[in-house]
Amino acid sequence: MLNSLRPYLTRLLTPVGEALARTPVTPNAITITGTCGMVAGALWLFPTGHLFAGTMVCTFFVLADMLDGVLARIKGTSGAWGAFLDSTLDRIGDAAVFAGLAIWLARTGQGALAVVALFCLVAGGLVSYAKARAEGLGVRCDVGIAERTERLLIGLTSAGLSGLGVPYVLAIGLWVLAVLSAVTFGQRVHAVHVATRRGDNADPGAAEQSGISQPPAGGTR
């Protein structure tokens, strides 16, 4: 849904990418640095109750992570390995955010809400896996009301506002995110079911080679 904003953010980051293109910095270095920063911020600040500071750190590194794609296009170094690394490390960053929130909620006696945060973590992984697995089978799966951008926006915004003292906002945000993630997963499963039954966009060779029990062949969103 919010992917329509990507072209504007790309144009905003292009001057920075052009400056970095004149340095030895590589897109993969930015990807790894962004993930390390996000994981450190989420697992250090969120569990200790610094929700607003953690949100600011994670948001900075999420935006910085978009720079790797811009730099790769400018340098002409886009490739399968970079795409795989970016998508895989995105999953680690996402997991750190919701794991950090779950730890803080558990430490403050909000066990039920901690379980909701863990559900958001697992559901987000399933949403991404469903798309990657479908694409590995040659089936398009560009559906869903809550892709990664929406999930992070809801999670980080509710955490940041909670850190500023807004009551109930984190609980509302996590419950809304849990529902949207479950719905998105259902949408993707349904889309693949429909596509495979009618044979649209399916690649039998990919299905035969990969097998349904194998892990996804590419990155996830």
Point out the catalytic residue in the list 90, 94, 142, 200.
90
Q: How many CB atoms lie within 10 A of CB 3?
A: 12
203 as an active site residue: the answer is no
Q: Which amino acid is at 124?
A: G
Asked whether the beta carbons of 146 and 177 are under 8 A apart, the reply is yes
Give the tokens for residue 107: 């430490």
Asked whether the beta carbons of 83 and 219 are under 8 A apart, the reply is yes
Residues acting as catalytic residues: 90
